[in-house]
Amino acid sequence: MPVGYSIYVERPSLIHQRIDPRTKLAALGAVFVLALAFNHPAVLGGILVLVLLAAQLAQLSWRSLLPAMVGSLWFLVLSLLIWPFYVKGGPSLFILFGSTISVNGVLFGLAMGLRVALMVLAAGVWMMTTSPQKLTVGLLRLGLPYKAGVAMTAAIRFVPLLNAERITITEAQQARALDLKRENPFNRAVKSIAIIGPLFVRSIDVAQSLALALEARGFAARDGRTSIVQIGMTTTDRIILIALAAACLLAIGLRILGIGLITRAYL
C-alpha cells in the first residue's frame, strides 16, 4: 500500500504530538454522545464550532476539511427537506404538499443536519490528527487483539487509497471517451459501471497484496507483538478524559431533564 495515501496530516501541533491516541478516541466518542444527547440546532451548532476550533488548534487547513464539510452540507439540505414533514409543533410557517410546515419542524431538520455534520467533521479531524501507527498501538493498549487493530487501521488507510484509485480509473476511462457530465442521471449510473467494475477488481487486488505482504512478514506468527512507536498517558490526557466524562454525564442529565431539545419524540 503506498505510504502517501493517508487521511492523516502531519502537523507540529499539540493535538498531533502531545495528546495520546486513546484520549483522541475518547474525545471522538464523547462528541458522538453529545451529538445524540441534544436535538436543538443552537446546542449542536455550538459543539460544531468547538470541533472546528479544535481543527484550527491542530493546524488543519480549511482545504483539508472541505470534503467533510461538503458532504455534511448535503445531509443538512436533505434533513431540511425531510424532517419538517414529520415533526410538528410551534408556530406554522406555510403549507407544502398538504402538510403544515412548522417552526419546530424546520429547527429539528436543521438540528439533524448539524448532528450528521458534527459526527462527520469530528471523525475527519480525528483521522487527520491521529497517525495510523499510534492508533494501532493505542488500540492494543486498550486490550484489542493486534489483528483487529491492524485490520481497523488498514481499513482507514484504504479509504484515501481507493479514492485515489477511483480518480485514476475515471481519468483513464475519460481518455477512452467516457462522458459522465452530459448524460441524464440514469445513463450516468449505467456508465458508472465502467468505473465501479475496475475499482472493485482493484480493491480485491490491493487487499490480496496486503494479505500476502503481511503473511511474508510473519504476521500473526506469535501471540505477542512489539512496536517501535511508544505512547503514554500524561497529566494533560487525564485532565481531558475527566472533562470528557463530565461533559457526557452533564449531557445525559440535561437530556433527561429535557434541556437542549426541540422534541422528546425523536432522538
CA distance 112 to 115: 5
pLDDT per position as a tens digit, 217-230: 777 667 666 677 77
pLDDT classification of 189: cutoffs 50, 70, 90: confident
pLDDT per position as a tens digit, 25-56: 999 999 999 999 999 999 999 999 999 999 99
Cell for 102? Answer: 412548522
Contacts 24+ apart (CB under 8 A), 83-89: 83/108, 83/109, 83/112, 84/108, 84/109, 87/262, 87/263, 87/265, 87/266, 89/262, 89/263
- pTM here is 0.78
- Give domain limits for the chain: 13-130+233-267, 143-229
Percent with pLDDT over 70 in the chain? 95
Which of helix, strand or coil describes residue 38?
coil
Cell for 161? Answer: 487509497
Cell 485514476 found at = 168
Cell 445525559 found at = 252
CA distance 88 to 40: 14
Query: What pLDDT does residue 219 have?
Result: 74
